[in-house]
A and B are shown apart, each in its own frame.
Chain A
Amino acid sequence: MRPTSARLLNILVPVKSTSDDALEFCRAVDYAVKIRVNPQQTGIDTNVKHSMNPFDEIAVEEAVRLREKLKASVKTIKAVTIGPPKSVDTLRTALAMGADSAIHVEIAESGPSPEPLAVAKTLRAIIEKQNGAATDAKDKIDVVILGKQAIDDDLGVTGQMLAGLLGWSQATFASKVEIDEAKGEATVVREIDGGGEEIKCKLPIVITTDLRLNEPRYASLPNIMKAKKKPIEKLSPADLGIDYTPQLETIKVAEPAKRVGGGKVASVDELVQKLKEAGI
């Protein structure tokens, strides 16, 4: 009897929309772009356009590349976001990049953005819902790919929390991912302090992406048009039994102390002299 490859991969890609100003930091085009702390010092002025968190773009790209490499072994790629009504645009971007369908957990415009633990619990609830309903192993979500951090809160913990809650293997700060779906294994190169590390993980797995994993594609116009027809399922936090009340209190958000440049020197000699004066 020939062994049958029963496994198919179902990939979930959580994406977050971050303010475009925050995004500009990452794109690093213009130093003049500056986030604005609001006058009440309660947060950042977010009355700006939002886009997908760049690490999440890399996550979507990786999911799509896995399908291009593994072909039919990747059964579905589903994007998910938690956010106000307008974050549906972020899901459309993910769909235009190649995700098949999406889930939007809709929260109020004005509410605080959910903390990582609540996001991880939401993702767990979505996974358990789908995997509980799946009659066949082929329909179960077994790979989750997330960005290693959001560029607004810079916390970088959601993926690890999700892996902990699910008891799945985790591969953080991935710079290379190879999945052997027949064996049910993933080989991941991770970026660590001082170098790299290669690990082998059993599926199901939670992967978080580093910047160097890939270069995300631009969605083509036909794909953007096609994305408009792809299904987006709407859920409320109540549907999933999740409470988004923050556990941590944000007391204040302030501008950091400003650093002022000390001007220029005319020559290397002057530079050396000033360095010596500074005791170097």
Chain B
Amino acid sequence: MLRTGSRVCQRALRRSYATAASPHALVFVDHRGGVIESGSLSAISAAEQLGGQVSALVVGSPDHVPQLVEQAKKIKGVTSVLHSASPQYENVIPEVVSPLLQKLLSDSTPYTHVVSATSSAAKSLLPRVAAVLDVPTVSDITSLEHDAASGSTTFTRPIYAGNAIATVRAPSNIPIKFFTVRGTAFAPAATQDSASAEAQAVDPIEVADPVSQHIKTSITKSDRPDLGVASRVVSGGRALKNAETFEKTLYPLADALGAAVGASRAAVDAGYADNSLQVGQTGKVVAPELYVAVGISGAIQHLAGMKDSKLIVAINKDADAPIFQVADLGLVADLYEAVPELTEKLQK
């Protein structure tokens, strides 16, 4: 009795002296087919930089959750793994999953930050939850710094298609700070052999008669590395003429380099490539070791998606194409001659 009383008292004192609670991040983990996505590993790295505890939240179908929990427990930096399984969680329907997050983040929540990759699932879900909790969100951050004394967190994020970098501070009076993390700006958290984090089950919240229903997902299948995380990317633009020449010209080069294939918006809009391959402001943001831009002029919103690549190679027959202003290695040539030649010489 006494002990309880003193603990309550301590907590009250701590609050009144306004020493902010030490940070505790809840990281929403994206996964596909029972495998954690690399973007979420980068989000965990970012969450770790806050300097406090990191809880990973795994939400999915009963088929996938057990294996996801095993993976999550082994991620370096994760202090606990929360998991919730329900057949309703097989696909992330924001209307169905948000009640679970709202419950986890309600009144006496220990969490000070909600973190995720800038993925399509998290982008749909988390702002919905933030609005209900009456807090803002910060999208696609590239760096962060948490001030434990004041309880404020400062982020940098690109605006205007990456042509300016904004530094914004979420002050201490925002009780839960939501942010999404640009995967290419943080190294993915490493996996260790032994699991140190403890797992904790959270009861799912069944939503009767949900307002939205998943009908089907069509994923573009590919044997090549995933565009978002590939260390090498070969991208094609409008100059590839049609879907057939796009495939015939770029794929052998990509295979020779072990690279993922990307595309400019022009190439996607013209139907040469699937829109999941689009690199740019409104597509994927990549930062591979090597980016080969073939027949891409270098429009500013394409550059927004690739200009943080380590080495940029451009092949274009227009010597004045703006892509040459950012390319480390530029080759002015007809791509239909240069690309097969390059492929052949790389294979040797």
Q: Residues on A close to B: CB < 8 A?
A: 22, 24-26, 28, 31, 33-35, 37, 44, 115-117, 120, 149, 151-158, 160-165, 168-173, 175, 187, 190-202, 210-212, 247-256, 259-265, 267-269, 271-272, 274-275, 278, 280
Contacts and interface: CB of A to CB of B under 8 A. Distances in A.
Interface in B264-294: 265, 269, 274-276, 281-282, 284, 289-290
B212 A171 contact: yes
B163 A117 contact: no
B136 interface: yes
Contact of A152 (B130, B159, B298): B159
A262 B333 CA distance: 17
A194 to B, nearest CB: 5
Contacts of A26: 281, 301
B131 A199 contact: no
B134 A117 contact: yes
A154 B161 contact: yes
A194 B300 contact: no
B190 interface: no
Nearest to A262: B328
Given A25-B161, A28-B300, A268-B338, A262 B217 contact: no
A248 B120 contact: no
Chain B interface residue number, banded: 35 or more
24 contacts: A25-B304, A116-B127, A160-B123, A163-B95, A169-B95, A169-B212, A170-B94, A170-B212, A175-B275, A191-B276, A192-B120, A193-B228, A198-B214, A198-B216, A199-B214, A211-B265, A247-B174, A248-B136, A259-B326, A261-B327, A261-B328, A263-B329, A268-B338, A275-B329
Contacts of B265: 28, 211
A164 B300 contact: no
B301 A264 contact: no
A127 to B, nearest CB: 14
B199 interface: no
Contacts of A248: 136, 138, 168-171, 174
A197 B214 contact: yes
A193 B322 CA distance: 28
A35 B327 contact: no
Instruction: Give the interface SS of chain A, mostly helix, strand, loop or mixed.
Output: mixed
Interface string B199-232: 0000000000001111111111000001010001
A237 B282 CA distance: 31
Interface in B111-142: 119-121, 123-132, 134-140
Contacts of A25: 160-161, 163, 281, 300-301, 304
Contacts of A278: 290, 311
A46 B216 CA distance: 43
Contact of B139 (A120, A156, A247, A252): A156
A280 B95 CA distance: 46
Contact of B159 (A153, A170, A202): A153
B120 A250 contact: no
Contacts of A268: 331, 333, 338, 341-342, 345
A115 to B, nearest CB: 6
B242 interface: no
Instruction: Give the interface SS of chain B, mostly helix, strand, loop or mixed.
Output: mixed
A214 to B, nearest CB: 12
Contacts of A153: 159
A254 B167 contact: yes
Contacts of A158: 127
A264 B332 contact: yes
B219 A251 contact: no
Given A195-B220, A199-B214, A261-B326, A272 B346 contact: yes
Nearest to A204: B211
Contacts of A37: 164
Contacts of B161: 22, 25, 151, 154
B154 interface: yes
B333 A187 contact: no
A196 B346 CA distance: 34
A264 B158 contact: no
A280 B290 contact: yes
Nearest to A161: B131
B169 A44 contact: no
Contacts of A117: 130-131, 134-136
A155 B302 CA distance: 18
Nearest to A271: B331
A242 to B, nearest CB: 13
B13 interface: no
A250 B166 contact: yes
A168 B93 CA distance: 13
A30 to B, nearest CB: 8
Contacts of A157: 123, 127, 130, 137, 139
Of the listed residues A24, A161, A267, A268, the one surrounded by the most CB atoms of chain B closer than 10 A to its CB is A268
Given A268-B342, A272-B346, A120 B131 contact: yes
A31 B322 contact: yes
A163 B132 CA distance: 9
Contact of A31 (B134, B232, B325, B345): B325
Contacts of B319: 264
B243 interface: no
Contacts of B228: 193
B211 A265 contact: no
Contact of A194 (B132, B219, B269, B329): B219
B162 A256 contact: yes
Nearest to B91: A197
A256 B127 contact: no
B104 interface: no
Contacts of B333: 268
B187 interface: no
